[in-house]
């Protein structure tokens, strides 16, 4: 059994289907979770931007210990949140059955490089390395070199974080003035919002202005939409102006 967030990027569910595992969507509160073999968490979240608190992360760890289950924490947006913590920082040095998954796709704009790494329980890492040898998932050496350079510098990450935050604030005002309620969205690269209508109605509303947004149904919610902050500063300002007009 694989558990994944009830509002989430679809890859966790798809992964369980590929492995022919049973799966179940669960709320963020780990004290309500059933027994399972693996649980995915994602903080900061895509699409909601929600950051799990230390208490919530501790509850996830406690669940994993109680059921002897693996916890995989997707932390690819961690660099874009002021108060977010890795699940490993909450584990007090005991990483048994814990994995933290990191990607440079968002942190350093290296999406095309497919550059990522996993940290955590050495026994689990050893098993993954054995699979890697035979499944051909080796990261090419030039990409590894690029990763080393990117991971050695935090200045560009903070610059990007500031850029996304500025775009978020510009759109926040325009969205709220247009009747949208923004939920969470404190971190990551997206705004998660609703006008308490079918998500496709909101998609159509934005399409009138030549703006493409993602329907929340793609992530498990029928009344929300996800708005990316990855357009240029000029385009973000143009969207806000169109909405206000």
Q: Rounded CA gap, 227 and 239, in Å? A: 11
Predicted TM-score (pTM) of the model is 0.93
Which pair of structure tokens corresponds to residue 211? 């703006």
pLDDT, mean over the chain: 96
155-244: CATH number: 3.90.1150.10
pLDDT at 32: 98
pLDDT at 83: 85
The pLDDT confidence band at residue 27, using thresholds 50, 70 and 90, is: very high
For the chain, the domains span 2-151, 155-244
Q: What is the DSSP letter of 139?
A: P
- Report whether pLDDT(50) > 90: yes
- 4-25 confidence digits (pLDDT tens): 999 999 999 999 999 999 999 9
Residues 6+ apart with CB under 8 A from 72: 38, 39, 40, 41, 99, 101
- Report whether pLDDT(90) > 90: yes
Span between the terminal Cα atoms of the chain, in Å: 50
Which pair of structure tokens corresponds to residue 39? 């649980």
**Candidate CATH numbers 1.10.10.10, 3.50.50.60, 3.20.20.70, 3.40.640.10; the one for domain 2-151:** 3.40.640.10
Query: Which stretches within 19-91 are classed as H helix?
Result: 54-67, 87-90
Angle between helices 233-244 and 155-177 (to 10 degrees): 10
Q: Rounded CA gap, 21 and 37, in Å? A: 10
- 192-230 confidence digits (pLDDT tens): 999 999 999 999 999 998 999 999 999 999 999 999 999
């Amino acid at each position: 059994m694989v558990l994944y967030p009830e509002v989430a990027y679809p890859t966790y569910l798809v992964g369980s289907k590929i492995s022919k595992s049973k799966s179940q969507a669960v709320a963020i509160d780990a004290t309500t979770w059933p027994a399972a073999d693996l649980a995915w968490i994602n903080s900061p979240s895509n699409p909601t931007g929600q950051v799990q608190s230390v208490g919530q992360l501790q509850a996830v760890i406690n669940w994993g210990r109680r059921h002897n289950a693996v916890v995989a924490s997707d932390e690819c947006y961690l660099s874009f949140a002021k108060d977010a913590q890795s699940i490993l920082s909450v584990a007090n040095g005991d990483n048994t059955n814990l994995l933290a998954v990191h990607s440079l796709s968002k942190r350093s704009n290296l999406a095309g490089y497919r550059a990522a790494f996993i940290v955590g329980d050495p026994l689990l890492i050893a098993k993954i390395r054995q699979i890697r040898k035979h499944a051909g998932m080796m990261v090419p050496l030039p990409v590894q070199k690029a990763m080393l350079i990117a991971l050695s510098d935090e200045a560009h990450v903070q610059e990007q974080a500031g850029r996304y935050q500025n775009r978020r604030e510009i759109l926040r005002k325009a969205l709220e003035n247009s009747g949208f309620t923004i939920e969470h969205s404190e971190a990551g690269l997206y705004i998660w919002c609703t006008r308490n209508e079918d998500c496709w109605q909101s998609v159509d509303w934005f399409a009138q202005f030549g703006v493409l947004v993602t329907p929340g149904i793609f992530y498990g919610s029928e009344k929300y939409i996800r708005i990316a902050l990855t357009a240029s500063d000029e385009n973000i300002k143009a969207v806000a102006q169109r909405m206000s007009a």
